[in-house]
Amino acid sequence: MTLERDRYRVVIVGAGIVGLYTAYHLARAGAGPIAVVDRGFLSSGGSGRNGGGIRQQWETRSTIRLARESIAAYRRFGSEFGYNIWFRQGGYLFLAETPAELDRLRAVHDVVVAEGLPSRLLSEGEVGAHVEGIAPGAVVGGAYLGSDGTLYPFPAVWGVYEAARSLGVEVALGVEARGVSSENGRVSRLVTSDGSIATDTIVNAAGGWSADLSRRAGLDVPNVASRHEILATEPLKPFLDPMVVRRSDGLYFSQTMRGEIVGGVTVPHPPGTARGVPSSPRFLTSMARALVTLVPRLASVGVLRAWAGFYDDTPDGFPIVGEDPRLPGFVHANGFGGHGFMLAPAASRRVAQSVLGEATDLDPREFGPGRFAAGPAGRAVEGLQLG
Amino acid sequence: MASRPLRRFRFGRALRASEEGRTILEALVGERLPALVRSVRYHRPRAAFCGVGFCTGCLVRVNGRPNVRACRQAVREGDRVATENSWPSPRFDVLGALDALFPRGIDTLHGFRRPAFATRTYQRVVRRLAGYGRLPDHGAPAAGIRPPTVLRARVVIVGGGRAGAAAAARVAALGEPALLLDRGPGPGPIPGVEVLPSTTATVLSAAGPGGGDQFTLLGYSAEDAGVLVRAPAVIVATGSYDASLLFEGNDRPGVMTADLALGLARGARSLPFRRAVVVGSGPRALEVLSALGPRACAVSAPGGIPPELVRRASELGVSLFPRSMVVRARGRSRVRSVELRRRGSGPTDLVPCDAIVLAHRRLPHHPLLFQAGATMVWRPLSRGYYPALDPSGRTSVPALFAAGSVAGVAPAEAAASGVAAAEAALGRPRSGPPSTPVDPGNSGEYDGYFEELLTQPRRGKWVACACEDVLLDELEAASGRGYRGLEVVKRYTGLGTGLCQGRYCVPDALSVLSVLEHRAPPEVGYLTQRPPVVPTPLGSLARLHDEVGGEVVP
């Protein structure tokens, strides 16, 4: 075992952005000895495989608030953690290719504006001003929020990792969580590929693998791991400021600080983590078709590499945050649906509050682990999951 | 020599002419190798380095299309060739001052954070330093990207060198349809074989949509037409390429691989140097020495120099530097001399030269095999990964074979390995003796080399990854902070994420990390070889969309 102790106050499964941020918040609160275990190397999961988009345009006010708080955290990241994440607020541009889609964007826009954010509805011409080379007639309009943006995910992971470690958090990499033992109805041990660790609190921040862990703890959860693919092109000189997204096919793309166009599009894959994360010819051609149709000038630009990762989807589009009522000591920090990086700084604060037994401001009918027992009737849905 | 018709093109504002069939690079080479582009972070001048279409040294804009490799693109009548990522020119570039201002590099991970109000300004500046070419001037008109080529074959062979050509001929001789794809001009016509020259295979998936057709291969032709091949068996004969070498100034114009030097000796009218130092001691170095003749001035090798090379060198009056390491190429806009340090902290020799030709090591061109999931094994002598094969060239993936130098087969046995793979792919009995992959590395001459290299004084930048301007110092800093393993250091520094996909930086970075982490290279890990093998135009992939279909769910 690469960990120094055999008992920890809290063991967090998953050294992604959510798990590490949670460890950081807990360590700052003086929660006691904290360990983080991860099956892979640092940033080998979703936190190292995402497109780096951070947006506040959501359908529900609760998600908007978490995103807004996260953006504030990423703005101060450099001074707080000592790493440049190059958080560039170039905006998020939702495309509408039909009047009906524009109406849906208008509904989102109204919620976003009600939260005090200056979202704008754009005409076709205004969309064109944001996306150089967009095909004429490709859109009827869009919605835009300039304070959304993109960041470079890796240094965010390094920064939080180093900060957590300097506060005494131990991180064991290459250690897989295999099971959860309980005593008297409460979590007692985490069983790993490298021995078992005594603890009375386990945080499940395992991203795409979180459902596997919850089930090993005997908990029936609705999370589904879905494979999503992404590609990067050759680096070009900067020409595109916003992240461009389209709900109809899940297309999203932006230009990174390094000049690459990075993005994806939804291609159906069988659920679950068993098949790993290969890239498919189907994705490459689908994404190429979507990009070239929208921005024909990209036709001669080369695809440099493609990769894939897991989303951790929930039926209602909200993450699962908080202690599981069926197993005291088992705290969920998962179900982020491919949007964990967007919400991590704010959501992980609530996870830490849950671990410490403090009240959070999250509505349990939206975020609570117990919400699924009651069925979907009457509960809110966050439908703006993309990619 | 019969003169070929001339093709006229513009280079910047100048009107140039070149013989038909020559590449843009060959047409631009004169007395010197011209700096054609500046690098991404420090705007260091760069000229052609690899000569085989992988590196970032000869990127030009052709007819409004960015990031075209001048070494791969034939000159066409009326072409407009322009330089990029430099102002006013690659030779005199204003931002090139950055290189001198920051002799030990810029820390973009930790710098630029204060004062906070300046963040947006920093971002605008740093963002301008990224990327090579500008967005293409125009999209592909309907005629610009041609309809895709969709083919089926009993066996598809990737690579038309000795092994690939022999494999294709054998498949045809056994009465089965064979298809051969070659990135270059190809082997010429082979009876019974459909040969697609100028066709690059970039994606190989072992999950096809139909039952019998196991493999899906994607690629593109010279005119950006997408290529889709389905076949139940694939023979990968993608050959090998000359490695880079880590030393100070290894990215300066004039440092080049043997691939480039030999290619120019064949294709260009004149070699763009007068005094070349050849690095290496094996058959490749001998080949280079013979091709360069009086333009070679010295041979440097990390170990001993074998008698035949000594003999050839003395015929040519070339100085020999056995047991030497290249520690520094001097000169800014081009190489003017090289410092050779005797192994074991010996004296340093300064050799005036205007080129350094790297012929010390060949590497298997194996990304397609990695991509398809073949088990790869580390060969300690050649310090590289080769496919695990049975005597017929069968990989760990059913119906996937490797032949020739990508399989570690010696040149003399390349054709035989292709024949064996063809017979095995068709399930026929083997007609010849089993091919015997060998470890082509020279025995132990790199033992301790990188340990010693890392102790050399550093006066300027040691560029570990030229595509992304990642410095050796950054690898050490990452290691010093406890980030271990090639996958993690890649993400920490950006090494290996550029246009060459890590072909030139990863081999030496693996050795460096092995030293820094005090463990053997296989324990340092390797980079996942992601599709595509080389940058593949979006337009060619887009045209394949309707043909590809979904995956089979296992």
- For chain B, domains (ranges, CATH) are 6-128 (3.10.20.440), 149-241+363-425 (3.50.50.60), 244-360 (3.50.50.60)
Q: Per residue in B324-340, is it b (16+ CB within 10 Å) or e — as a string?
A: bbbbbbbbebbbebbbb
Residues A35 and A93 in one domain: no
Token pair belonging to B530: 């992601």
Average pLDDT over residues B255-282: 92
Residues A309 and A250 in one domain: yes
Residues A22 and A144 in one domain: no
- Of A313, A329, A357, the domain-final residue: A313
Q: Tell me: pLDDT of B147 over 90.
A: no
Average pLDDT over residues A179-184: 96
Nearest CA distance, A37 vs chain B (angstrom): 16
DSSP state of B294: G
Cβ atoms of B185 and B197 closer than 8 Å: yes
Cβ atoms of A302 and B540 closer than 8 Å: no
Q: Which of A82, A300, A304 sits opposite B224 (nearest CB)?
A: A300
Residues A231 and A135 in one domain: yes
Nearest CA distance, A325 vs chain B (angstrom): 37
Local confidence band at B443 (pLDDT 50, 70, 90 cut-offs): low
- Of A296, A313, A330, the domain-final residue: A313
In a domain, A75, yes or no: no
- Name which of A205, A276, A211, A217 is nearest A37 in CA terms: A205
Interface size between A and B, measured as CB pairs under 8 A = 214
What's the maximum distance between 2 C-alpha atoms anywhere in chain A? 66
- Name which of B184, B182, B159 is nearest B263 in CA terms: B184
Average pLDDT over residues A238-254: 97
Residues A290 and A320 in one domain: no
- The DSSP H or E segment spanning A92 is strand A92-96
Local confidence band at B114 (pLDDT 50, 70, 90 cut-offs): confident
Q: Which of B216, B539, B550 sits opposite A292 (nearest CB)?
A: B539
Least confident of B22-36, B130-144, B310-324, B462-476: B130-144
Q: CB A239 to CB B488 under 8 A?
A: no
Predicted confidence at residue B478, as pLDDT, reads 98
Calpha distance A183→A330 (Å, rounded)? 12
Say yes or no: B537 contacts chain A, CB-CB below 8 A: yes
Q: CB B545 to CB A281 under 8 A?
A: no
Q: Which of B485, B540, B542 sits opposite A41 (nearest CB)?
A: B485
Average pLDDT over residues A292-308: 96
In a domain, A264, yes or no: yes
| Domain membership of residue A257 as a residue range | 89-148+226-313
In a domain, A321, yes or no: yes
Predicted confidence at residue B441, as pLDDT, reads 59
Residues A125 and A167 in one domain: no
In a domain, A56, yes or no: no
Residues A136 and A231 in one domain: yes
Amino acid at B459: R
Residues A234 and A302 in one domain: yes
Average pLDDT over residues B251-265: 97
Q: Which of A48, A275, A291 sits opposite B491 (nearest CB)?
A: A48
Residues A237 and A304 in one domain: yes
| Domain CATH code at residue A115 | 3.30.9.10
ipTM of the complex, rounded to two decimals: 0.96
Q: How many helices, marked H, and strands, marked E, lie in chain B?
A: 16, 31
Residues A173 and A230 in one domain: no
Calpha distance A105→A101 (Å, rounded)? 6
Calpha distance B202→A285 (Å, rounded)? 13
B436 or B16, higher pLDDT: B16
Q: B145 vs A137, A284, A296, A298, B221, CA distance in Å?
A: 21, 17, 11, 12, 10
Token pair belonging to B278: 């050849």
Nearest CA distance, A222 vs chain B (angstrom): 22
SS3 B357: strand
Residues A115 and A167 in one domain: no
- The per-residue pLDDT of chain A, averaged, comes to 96
Local confidence band at B532 (pLDDT 50, 70, 90 cut-offs): very high
Q: Which residue of A has its CA nearest to B539?
A: A299
Token pair belonging to A1: 């075992």
Local confidence band at B140 (pLDDT 50, 70, 90 cut-offs): low
Instruction: Quote the strand ranges of B165-290, DSSP E.
Output: 178-181, 193-196, 199-205, 215-221, 226-231, 233-236, 240-242, 255-257, 276-279
In a domain, A55, yes or no: no
Residues A328 and A197 in one domain: yes
| Domain CATH code at residue A332 | 3.50.50.60
Give how many domains chain A has, as a whole number: 2
Q: CB B488 to CB A155 under 8 A?
A: no
Q: B172 vs B58, B166, B193, B195, B486, CA distance in Å?
A: 38, 10, 6, 12, 43
In a domain, A380, yes or no: no
In a domain, A79, yes or no: no
| CA torsion through residues B172, B174, B175, B179, sign | negative
Predicted confidence at residue B433, as pLDDT, reads 80
- Of A313, A331, A366, the domain-final residue: A313
Q: Tell me: pLDDT of B208 over 60.
A: no
In a domain, A23, yes or no: yes
